[in-house]
Amino acid sequence: MTSLDKIIASLNDAQREAVTAPGGATLVLAGAGSGKTRVISARVAWHIAQGVPVNQITAVTFTNKAAREMSARIGALVKEVPFVGTFHRFGLTVLRRYRRQLGYHTHPNIIDRGDQLGIVRESLKQLGLQPASWDVGEALSLILEGRTCKAIEGKIRFPRAHGLVPMGVELVEAYEKRLRTLNAVDFDELILVPLRLFHSHPNLFSRVQAGTRYILVDEFQDTNHAQMELVRKLVGEDGTLMAVGDDDQSIYAFRGARVENILRFAESFPDSQTIRLEDNYRSAKPIIELANAIIRSNPDRNDKTLRVRCPFTGSTQLVGASSEEAEADFIAQGVADAIRSGTSPNEVAVLYRANRQANAIELALTQIAIPFRRIGGTSFFERKEVRDALGWLGVLIDGNDDLCFRRAVLAPARGVGEVSLKNLERGATKQKTSLFRTAEKLVDIPGALPNQSISGLKEMISVLKEGRKKLRSAGVSKAFKFVLQQVGYRKYLIHNAETPAEGSRRFHRVMQLADTLDSYVHRDPIEGARAFLDDALLSNANDAVDEDEAMVSLMTLHAAKGLEFDSVFIPGVEEGILPHERSIGNASGLAEECRLMYVGVTRAKKDLTLSYVRKRPQGGPVGEERISRFLRNVGLRPRLVGAPVQEGPTESEKKAMLEIEKLQELLRS
């Protein structure tokens, strides 16, 4: 019996039906903890066992971590693993293959959100608008909407109202022109690239399509408009699609995810079939019963009910604390009790709706000496010292990389300010060359740049030329370290840190970065280094989490998606927090908040504690009236902790209310 035969024999009926489903489109509604990754891995192996060539299979998901896990599981079943990666990785692969046809003469740079926002500000200024007068992040979202419509429909259009819409077309064009000038693409462009290829080079798109005759999409409920359209185009008329997801876990609308993609799947793929995975192998019975009760009342969802299949017992409790501090102290003590009872700190998590909730909990854990990691902050590759070092690496291996040049020339500072950079940019545009090549010429022209800038640029050019000699003789990693040493990067980090020790830690991170390079450059040093830079920019915060050290995890409910822990604490299950105050009065917003609580609850394997504060200093309801609407009819009776709270308003609150009533009466008269 083969490994695949053993896997298929061990599946339950619904899982087996999904793995062996016939061609065409299949939607697998995979409830929390129902073994979806196992199903996807077995499905890929089953395709290969049926004679499907590996180069016709593609599996896409949403995080690098999920892609690595999926790839490892598939690798245990087959000799050759097909493409397994994120949507962005897929788009990058297409871009690398057809960059010339798409108008890129050299390998384009990938920019992150910080650089995107900078380009939006420049574009607004170019149109005579003041960036300070607009929400730049919202402007970026509008630009994405216009670009998505352009890629799908062939013209820039904006589906929703916004104050910038009257100048929206010009804004999109200015943004895209700046990207082209920088020879850059952003994360959004990586999704749009295959769609543009579909319209501009249908013959080339058909080649891409040949590699996705059998396509599997994980976390389908998280797809946005462009990703859904890309899947439709790739599947075409005769492709085989397995979309795996759970509408009850659709929680990323703020990133553009559209739950209707999974709810209306049958409309997009009329001859499709739907298979439900409802057996939960993760959580104890009390947790599953609570999860079902919470999500059952949510409108407009695919009907499914989780069934308990795990062997161990567990518990759920709802706690009402007298204050935020009392809630944090109770959680900290609960964490300590769980660890004392034998639960590993790595198996304990505190999940909250908003980052501000973590402050009191961090303090309470610190006071009783419980180590914790706060996940979802600045990732390794988002740290300034790392991004600046990557700038030096980029301009070392490619003198045409203007984005990396701009970052490197400012770290350490070398007398090159915005005026000198503008002069360099003008020269580069006029000569149709890079900033580095322009700098090489201008430093020898008297008066072209300020003397201080000339001195700094000459030093930079000299170091990079020496570095490139080292690159050829000693390899990328040693050349990179040489350049950082020559420009005084360690001294620069120590000088700019709050303490020398912190500066040394930052430099140590950069050296870790340099050491990692060796694993990429064993074949082609330059291409390996470029692949390393791409991977660094495509990474996400959760990929950088060090799980070797035993620590309690603190993170938002959104960041917890896809994770599981023996013991979970969810604070702030109250009106105005969960559901968030912005969602109250908005039906779709409330539905997503309900799904968010469901996701949090189903992260717990054994023990789950939900808590709320019975009275907040800023006022509002008091006592049980504060409890989240999602928990009012699920059979949980609150356990009260902390000092008693006054159920009615205080004297000062009564006086304030009286003054408000007087003012309202005055306004009516």
pLDDT, tens digit, for every residue of 454-470? 889 999 999 999 999 99
- Domain 381-538: give its CATH architecture: Orthogonal Bundle (1.10)
- Taking CA 152 as the corner, what is the angle to CA 99 and CA 201, rounded to the nearest 5 degrees? 40
pLDDT at 210 exceeding the cut of 90: yes
Handedness of CA 280, 300, 351, 385 (dihedral sign): positive
More confident position, 659 or 42 = 42
**For the chain, percent of residues with pLDDT exceeding 70:** 94
Contacts of 631 (CB under 8 A, 6+ apart): 294, 318, 573, 610
pLDDT at 182 exceeding the cut of 90: no
| pLDDT score for 542 | 42
| pLDDT score for 617 | 79
pTM: 0.83
Contact yes or no for 372/552 (Cβ under 8 A): yes
ω before 638 within 30° of 0 (cis)? no
| Residue tagged active-site, from 37, 333, 433, 486 | 37
pLDDT at 546 exceeding the cut of 60: no
| pLDDT score for 579 | 95
Which of 5-9, 176-180, 660-664 holds the top average pLDDT? 176-180
pLDDT at 1 exceeding the cut of 90: no
Long-range CB contacts (within 8 A, 24+) of 478-486: 479/396, 480/392, 480/393, 480/396, 480/514, 480/517, 481/511, 481/514, 483/392, 483/396, 484/389, 484/392, 484/510, 484/514
| pLDDT score for 431 | 84
| pLDDT score for 541 | 41
Topology of domain 307-378+547-641, per CATH?
Answer: Rossmann fold (3.40.50)
pLDDT at 540 exceeding the cut of 60: no
Neighbouring CB atoms inside 10 A of 168's CB total: 19
The tokens describing 52, both together, are: 């499907």
More confident position, 601 or 411 = 601
More confident position, 45 or 255 = 45
pLDDT at 61 exceeding the cut of 50: yes
DSSP line for 105-167:
SS-PEEE-HHHHHHHHHHHHHHTT--GGGS-HHHHHHHHHHHHHHHHHHSS---SS--TTGGG
pLDDT at 625 exceeding the cut of 70: yes
Sheet containing strand 604-613, edge to edge, reads 372-374, 552-556, 348-352, 565-570, 604-613, 315-321, 639-641
Handedness of CA 59, 61, 64, 68 (dihedral sign): negative
- State the chain's mean pLDDT as an integer: 90
| Residue tagged active-site, from 145, 176, 189, 219 | 219
Which of 199-203, 503-507, 592-596 holds the top average pLDDT? 592-596
| pLDDT score for 43 | 97
DSSP state of 349: E
pLDDT at 445 exceeding the cut of 60: yes
Selection from 625, 599, 627, 600 nearest residue 612 by Cα: 627
For residues 126-146, average pLDDT:
92
Residue 545 banded pLDDT, cuts 50, 70, 90: very low
| Residue tagged active-site, from 145, 189, 218, 247 | 218
Contact yes or no for 620/584 (Cβ under 8 A): no
DSSP state of 310: -
Lowest-confidence region among 23-27, 122-126, 448-452, 626-630? 448-452
| pLDDT score for 544 | 44
Q: Output the CA–CA distances (angstroms, integers) from residue 573 to 315, 649, 651, in the order listed.
A: 17, 22, 27
| pLDDT score for 396 | 93
| pLDDT score for 533 | 83
User: Class for domain 3-96+194-277, per CATH?
Assistant: alpha beta
pLDDT at 629 exceeding the cut of 50: yes
pLDDT at 515 exceeding the cut of 60: yes
Q: Is 249 a catalytic residue?
A: yes
Handedness of CA 210, 213, 219, 225 (dihedral sign): positive
Selection from 551, 509, 542 nearest residue 373 by Cα: 551
Cα–Cα distance, 255 to 558 (Å, whole number): 11
| Residue tagged active-site, from 63, 148, 249, 602 | 249
Contact yes or no for 367/358 (Cβ under 8 A): no
| Residue tagged active-site, from 147, 150, 233, 603 | 603
| pLDDT score for 24 | 95
| Residue tagged active-site, from 16, 36, 73, 147 | 36
pLDDT at 284 exceeding the cut of 70: yes
Q: Is 37 a catalytic residue?
A: yes
**For the chain, percent of residues with pLDDT exceeding 90:** 63
